[in-house]
Amino acid sequence: MATILALSGCGGRAEVALAAPSLPAPSLVALASPSPRSDLLLRGAAMLLEAAGLGPGELQLVVATRGPGSFTGIRNTLACALGLAAGAGVPAHAFSSLLAQAARCADGEVLAAQPARKGAVYVQAFRWEGAWQPITEPTIRPVAWLASQTLPVVAPAGLALPEGTPLARVRLTTAEALLVLARALQTPDASTLQPLYLEDFPRKEAC
Mean pLDDT (whole number) for 71-90? 94
Question: Does residue 205 register a pLDDT over 50?
Answer: no
Range of the domain at 186: 4-97+172-192
Q: How far apart are CA 15 and CA 196, in angstroms?
A: 19
Question: Does residue 97 register a pLDDT over 70?
Answer: yes
For position 31, which CATH number holds? 3.30.420.40
Q: Write down the pLDDT at residue 200.
A: 65
At residue 131 the predicted structure's pLDDT band, cuts being 50, 70 and 90, is very high
Q: How far apart are CA 15 and CA 84, in angstroms?
A: 15
Indicate whether 201 belongs to any domain: no
Q: How far apart are CA 115 and CA 73, in angstroms?
A: 11
* pTM for the whole structure: 0.94
Q: Write down the pLDDT at residue 13.
A: 87
Indicate whether 110 belongs to any domain: no
- Considering only residues 70 and 90, tell me which one the structure prediction assigns the higher pLDDT: 90
Q: Write down the pLDDT at residue 206.
A: 38
Note the pLDDT tens digit of each residue in 132-157: 999 999 999 999 999 999 999 999 98
Mean pLDDT (whole number) for 46-66? 97
Indicate whether 66 belongs to any domain: yes
Q: Write down the pLDDT at residue 207.
A: 34
Indicate whether 179 belongs to any domain: yes
Are the beta carbons of 106 and 171 closer than 8 angstroms?
Answer: yes
- Considering only residues 72 and 113, tell me which one the structure prediction assigns the higher pLDDT: 113
Indicate whether 58 belongs to any domain: yes
Mean per-residue pLDDT of the chain: 93
Indicate whether 113 belongs to any domain: no
Q: Write down the pLDDT at residue 35.
A: 61
- Considering only residues 70 and 168, tell me which one the structure prediction assigns the higher pLDDT: 168
Mean pLDDT (whole number) for 61-76? 94
Q: How far apart are CA 175 and CA 18, in angstroms?
A: 9
Note the pLDDT tens digit of each residue in 28-52: 999 886 665 788 899 999 999 999 9
The domain tally of the chain equals 1
Question: Does residue 110 register a pLDDT over 70?
Answer: yes
Indicate whether 80 belongs to any domain: yes
Indicate whether 89 belongs to any domain: yes
Question: Does residue 204 register a pLDDT over 80?
Answer: no
